[in-house]
Structure 1
Amino acid sequence: MTRTILVTGAGGQVGVELARAAWPEGWQAVAVDRSALDLRDTAAIARTVAAGHRGQPFAAVINAAAYTAVDRAESDQVAAWAVNALAPAAFGEACARGDIPIVQVSTDYVFAGDKDGEWEPADPVAPLGVYGASKLGGELAVRTSGARHAIVRTAWVVSAHGNNFVKTMLRVGGERGALRVVDDQRGSPTS
């Protein structure tokens, strides 16, 4: 029997890579994007998780979907909170009900950004904007849902798919003789 993992965010960098990953024998990912599952529709989330795949319950859910327009989130708070906090709450509740483990993909934006060094999971959270606060809301929703869960915090996601810092630097470097970038930020890219 094949065990199926529901992966959300199939149109994003993390979702694309999870969908095309070489899963161990007997495991497969079923990746959905926003056209297949509207993350603002909590009832649809509950139905999707409860339905499983081809008559079998999901073995796990990986919620890699997110509202990632960090700057736009400041003026589009309702959408950011709907996707980044309320959708994880719905996934957590549905997973708890079905005894399905969930992995919630989050971000280092839950921190204030003022630490000199690597972030540790136990470091205090203090998001500075709507994006980070809404992602923290999603973490808290999953953590308190009663579902077996793991929270994964990413930073500076890079892949061959989509837009990211590495691809931008390669493109701009090919167009210009010199690159000018801020040098007051540190990151730990997640591939």
Structure 2
Amino acid sequence: MSDVKRILVTGGNGQLGTELKRYAWPEGWAVTAIDIDELDLRDTAAIAAMVAKGHDGQPWAAVISAGAYTAVDKAESDIVTAWAVNAMAPAAFAESCANAGIPIVQVSTDYVFDGARDGAWEVTDPVAPLGVYGASKLGGELAVRTSGARHAIVRTAWVVSAHGNNFIKTMLRVGATNPTLRVVDDQHGSPTSATDLAAALATITMRLVEDSAAPTGTYHFSNAGAV
């Protein structure tokens, strides 16, 4: 039997999933990163089966739930899908992790807040999502928090990387052909490197696996500074 601790990662083709695959995991650790072609996050029965099955006869060491419905504007008219992926899928993963006795790390977002604060959000700040995306991500948080699974919920913001879609890549693409860019300037946030976020999630996950007394709960992670 293998003594490798294998972590199941969802959203494997996204910005964060890509960086979790690229991360220099220590010897004895490995990830299996899946995306929609291997698991439809709307299928809660399939989620439960995948967690219960493990990998090559070995149980998963942990789950990093990074897959999400991230089309913020589209979510307003695609409510059922957004809630299925962002709330019910984490609920199914967390219940299955609780049953398997393994921890889950749930990736969440600053969209669970109302955006009215001048300065960094604190974990203790009251949540007040303004749209479907934020509300559905908050639903995922609540599902994980009440599942009985050992967990860490990690809220982040403005994730950027060389992979996938993000604001910086959009501006570079549009700026290459347009002499003038017109963008809203009433939003402030802390752009966060997917590489740095992946490293933080890896550290948290390995700690949860190896230390039964490791702290659990809700945390914030972003790069420093605001724009």
Question: CA shift at 1:83, angstroms?
Answer: 0.3
Indicate the SS of the match to 1:179: coil
Distance 1:79 1:135 in 2: 12
Distance 1:3 1:164 in 2: 32
**Root mean square deviation, CA, Å:** 1.0
Equivalent in 75, 78, 83 of residue 77 of structure 2: 75
Indicate the SS of the match to 1:90: helix
Question: CA shift at 1:65, angstroms?
Answer: 0.4
- Structure 1: stretches of 5+ with no match in the other structure: none
Distance 2:183 2:76 in 1: 24
Indicate the SS of the match to 1:106: strand
Indicate the SS of the match to 2:182: coil
Equivalent in 53, 56, 79 of residue 55 of structure 2: 53
Distance 2:179 2:73 in 1: 29
| Matching of residues 21-40 of structure 1 within 5 Å | 21-40=23-42
Q: What residue in structure 2 maps to residue 8 of structure 1?
A: 10
Higher alpha-carbon deviation: 166-175 or 118-127: 166-175
Aligned length: 191
Following superposition, which runs of at least 4 residues in structure 1 exceed 4 angstroms of deviation? none
Distance 1:182 1:46 in 2: 42
Equivalent in 131, 148, 160 of residue 162 of structure 2: 160
Q: What residue in structure 1 maps to residue 213 of structure 2?
A: none
| TM, length-normalised to structure 2 | 0.82
Indicate the SS of the match to 1:61: strand
Question: Residue by residue, what CA displacement relative to the aligned partner does 1:74-95 show, whole Å, maximum 9, x if unpaired?
Answer: 1111000000000000000000
Distance 1:177 1:82 in 2: 41
Indicate the SS of the match to 1:6: strand
Q: What residue in structure 2 maps to residue 113 of structure 1?
A: 115
1:142 is aligned to 2:139: no
Question: Residue by residue, what CA displacement relative to the aligned partner does 1:107-147 show, whole Å, maximum 9, x if unpaired?
Answer: 10000000000011111000000100000000000000000
| TM, length-normalised to structure 1 | 0.97
Give the counterpart letter for 1:103 in structure 2: V
Question: CA shift at 1:189, angstroms?
Answer: 1.2
Indicate the SS of the match to 1:104: strand
